Amino acid sequence: MGRRSMGFLADPADAEMIDSDINELKIAAKRLISHATKLGGLGFGTSFLKWVASFAAIYLLILDRTNWKTNILTSLLVPYIFFSLPSVLFNFLRGEVGKWIAFIAVVLRLFLPRHFPDWLEMPGSLILLLVVAPSFFADTLKDSWVGVAICLIIGCYLLQEHIRVSGGFRNSFTQPHGISNTVGIILLLVYPLWALVLKFV
């Protein structure tokens, strides 16, 4: 079986097909970038990367509560999500919906602690932070370069801790769930780097 698959991959016609597919993907990516810049300029790229970073942080938070179980300080993902959450979601969760979710979380935690699962601690903290944060943090710092710098610091810290715990950059990809964890943490850095470059260039 192994020899057959090796022979199959060594076929020149198959290699040409793979090369042509990769070239088509490159052309499609270039078209996507050019259309995106025509559609909304660099601001569109920033908002898109903000969505990607927020979902990467939420993914890592869920992963940490389910099967990653790392010793690094993943609770820093809560302020990262606070500062990187797109305005549509941020305002939605800061409104009445978020208040009701926070109220239910607090009631469950206070009066039914045995029925409040451990994996809900961080999401509950995030909702509470979104609802009760003073306007200085929610309106002033969140949309300024300070909020972006905080996201960058958190992303850099989590990446270097993840690499240190894994025993090196190469090992961080070879561990169980290593690729998804490492790529998720690297995605945390893309948005703040892009936003800071646009602010200061």
CB 49 within 8 A of CB 191: yes
57-68 pLDDT, tens digit each: 988 888 776 665
Q: What is the CA radius of gyration of the chain?
A: 21
For the residues 104-113, what does the mean pLDDT come to? 86
- Of 51-55, 101-105, 128-132, 141-145, which gets the smallest average pLDDT? 141-145
First-to-final CA distance of the chain: 55
The pTM (predicted TM-score) of the whole model is 0.71
Query: Per the structure block, which two tokens stand in for 89?
Result: 């979601």
| Structure confidence by residue, pLDDT tens digits, 132-148 | 988 888 888 887 888 89
> Does position 45 have pLDDT exceeding 90, yes or no?
no
Query: In Å, how far from its chain's centre is CA 77?
Result: 9
Domain ranges of the chain: 36-200
